[in-house]
Amino acid sequence: MAEENIQYTEDSIRSLDWREHIRLRPGMYIGKLGDGSAQDDGIYVLVKEIIDNSIDEFVMGNGRTIEVKISEHKVEIRDYGRGIPLGKVIDCVSKINTGGKYDSKAFQKSVGLNGVGTKATNALSDYFKVQSFRDGQTKMAEFEKGVLINDAPIEASSQRNGTLVTFRPDNTIFKNYHFIPEYLENQIWNYAYLNAGLTINFNGQKYHSENGLLDLLRRKVDEESARYPIIHLKGEDIEISMTHSNQYGEEYYSFVNGQYTTQGGTHLAVFREAVVKTIRDFYKKDFDASDIRASIVAAISVRVQEPVFESQTKTKLGSQSVGPDGPTMRTFVNDFIKKALDDYLHKHQDAADALLKRILQSERERKDIAGIKKLANERAKKANLHNKKLRDCRVHYDDPKADEDAKNNTMLFLTEGDSASGSITKSRDVQTQAVFSLRGKPLNCYGMTKKVVYENEEFNLLQHALNIEDGIENLRYRKIVIATDADVDGMHIRLLIMTYFLQFFPDLVKNGHLYILETPLFRVRNKKETIYCYTDEERQRAIHKLGSKPEITRFKGLGEISPGEFADFIGENIRLEPIILRKETKIADLLTFYMGKNTPDRQNFIIDNLKVEKDVVHDPADKIVAEDEEIEAA
């Protein structure tokens, strides 16, 4: 009856202007929002949209330097291209479907073709300034949340041609946001690798590459672990680099017209197939595809006309051809790999021998675990996984039919003990948040082979819950969140879980899927206000603010936090710390330090990095030594 009373008239129809529409539906334009803890969060897309325009100027032969300054909440980007035509400065940053990239002759292989990017950055910033310098004159305009507040007149200028954009992301949309330097650095490096000869000055540091994807892989691969020198091949509108390492998994970096396609797409799918086919033909043996691609680290970049992406954020290529009149993507990539890679292997016998040795090693390992793998998979089914260990959610990251925003918010909490998993299970969002309960401390798998993943019930069930047995392409959750207590035991469990992923699924960590849940250590409250504190400094500030001896509660374990309170900590105000592998980080050395033979250095590191009150921990070094001996004995 209520529905019958709803009036659907002319008054029900309304039109939103460009600014209102972007602010109401930001996900349509920049993907997910986020607070900056994930490398594909919206604040990095805002930066990318502005730099993309500067890159397009460089590609067209205008300006070899870009200046980028990013502080905690402010972004400033200056290029030395032609500069926006002065009479169109305001239109180019505030009118949808306005720009210079609709002339396909001028921007045939550009990243942004829809005239939306800069406007999205403008609309989603609480302050936005654009200034163009062109032929001795300059024009400047300022906006607040997309609304023009200052239309300055054209003036004379002695500055070089180009465009300056300054903006602050709107913290009412990107709540509690912060830029993570490592994410920005990777973003800047990718621009440098894909545009040889370009120099980007980022916060006082120069980023420059002369060797393109060869330099990219040199930065990503530890030379000691590479099984043969990096293969670097370039053709017209295509470039690849590849090698094999000693680590598990497959690791790819794919790009289209300078855009980092984090979710791959047609070009990457064809590349993976082409490498398998070419190697089979070269060795004249029908190797299993998984043995050929095991431990591969590769990068591919293509330039195509009028690329079609599967979303506005351009993270996955959908194009089936390289242009309106060009060959199919399959033919284009396959023909290049077939000739260039085959020629390389014929000319470099040492690399061909090393590659064959790596393939045969993978084949032996696969056959060695075949029997136990079958039994383990049967055990996983009998264990009735989704009822015994996993409290699943309704939306999954690998579901092509699910809402993109919901998929990007999917996460799996890894907890230890019934009380902690119970609190999170009762307070989670059942749509996007799942819980996997660990039973006691995981096995220290440092130095072990992948056979242990199938022999150890806990590890086997976890890989099935994540759906990563055959790689991370079908990963079921966007974020894997380690949720352990903030004490010595919790730190140790955290390290053991990290060791499992770094040892057997390093590509999962490198692709930014692993996080640590930050939970409050203290609750400080009086009759009027409650403040949750994540550090001792925050506790001191809260005490000072509330005054008159407020009630202070120290949370010693996740199980002590009630479900009602937990809902706030894993909801809109969730704090996640991403696990980031820096350029200089070598996984082998990292695991040796944390999980190898016990040393005083490691004991001191664990103790010093515990976020606990000093008087709570009693002789933690003794506890760690005892735990190590226990695990080594096991």
> Rounded CA gap, 422 and 432, in Å?
17
Tokens found for residue 525: 């409250």
Tokens found for residue 353: 């021998």
> Which residues sit opposite 523 in a β-bridge?
532, 553
Helix (H) or strand (E) holding 575: strand 575-578
Q: How many CA atoms lie less than 13 Å away from 612 in the CB half-sphere?
A: 20
> Rounded CA gap, 486 and 491, in Å?
7
> Rounded CA gap, 583 and 222, in Å?
9
pLDDT at 612: 44
Q: Is 480 helix (H, G, I), strand (E, B) or coil?
A: strand
> Which residues sit opposite 551 in a β-bridge?
525
pLDDT at 590: 66
Q: Is 331 helix (H, G, I), strand (E, B) or coil?
A: helix
Q: Are the beta carbons of 543 and 552 closer than 8 angstroms? A: yes
- What residues contact residue 9 under an 8 Å CB cut-off, 6+ apart? none
> Rounded CA gap, 451 and 375, in Å?
12
Q: Are the beta carbons of 595 and 606 closer than 8 angstroms? A: no
pLDDT at 102: 41
Q: Is 151 helix (H, G, I), strand (E, B) or coil?
A: strand
Under-70 pLDDT residues of the chain: 1-16, 97-116, 311-314, 382-388, 582-599, 602-603, 605-634
Q: Tell me phi and psi for residue 412, to 5 degrees.
A: -115, 120
> Rounded CA gap, 376 and 199, in Å?
52
State how far the alpha carbon of 381 is from the alpha carbons of 41, 131, 374, 377, 440, in Å.
36, 61, 11, 6, 22
Tokens found for residue 562: 């009630």
pLDDT at 264: 81
pLDDT at 383: 65
Q: Are the beta carbons of 68 and 203 closer than 8 angstroms? A: yes
The type of residue at 114 is N
Instruction: Please count the other Cβ atoms lying within 10 Å of the Cβ belonging to residue 564.
Output: 10
pLDDT at 466: 94
> Rounded CA gap, 597 and 628, in Å?
8
- What residues contact residue 100 under an 8 Å CB cut-off, 6+ apart? 92, 106, 107
Q: Where are the domains of the chain?
A: 18-208, 213-363, 370-519+555-633
Q: Could you tell me whether strands 551-554 and 522-525 are parallel, antiparallel, or unpaired per DSSP bridges?
A: antiparallel
pLDDT at 630: 36
> Rounded CA gap, 97 and 94, in Å?
10
> Rounded CA gap, 112 and 93, in Å?
14
pLDDT at 573: 80
Burial class (CB in 10 A: 0-12, 13-18, 19+), 441: middle
* Residues 518-555 pLDDT 10s: 888 888 999 889 888 888 888 999 999 998 889 998 88
The model's pTM is 0.79
Q: Could you tell me whether strands 205-208 and 231-235 are parallel, antiparallel, or unpaired per DSSP bridges?
A: unpaired
The type of residue at 223 is E
- What residues contact residue 139 under an 8 Å CB cut-off, 6+ apart? 84, 86, 87, 89, 131, 132, 152, 154, 155
Tokens found for residue 257: 């017209």
Strands (E), 303-444: 390-391, 411-416, 433-438
> Which residues sit opposite 235 in a β-bridge?
238
Q: Could you tell me whether strands 231-235 and 251-256 are parallel, antiparallel, or unpaired per DSSP bridges?
A: unpaired
CATH of domain 213-363: 3.30.230.10
Domain 18-208 has CATH 3.30.565.10: yes
18-208 and 370-519+555-633 agree in CATH topology: no
* Residues 592-614 pLDDT 10s: 666 666 667 766 766 666 544 43
Instruction: Round the average pLDDT of the chain to a whole number and report it.
Output: 83
Q: Which fold has domain 370-519+555-633?
A: Rossmann fold (3.40.50)
Q: Could you tell me whether strands 137-144 and 147-151 are parallel, antiparallel, or unpaired per DSSP bridges?
A: antiparallel
Strands (E), 119-176: 125-134, 137-144, 147-151, 155-156, 162-169
Alpha carbon 480 to its chain centroid, in Å, reads 12
pLDDT at 107: 52
> Rounded CA gap, 426 and 152, in Å?
55
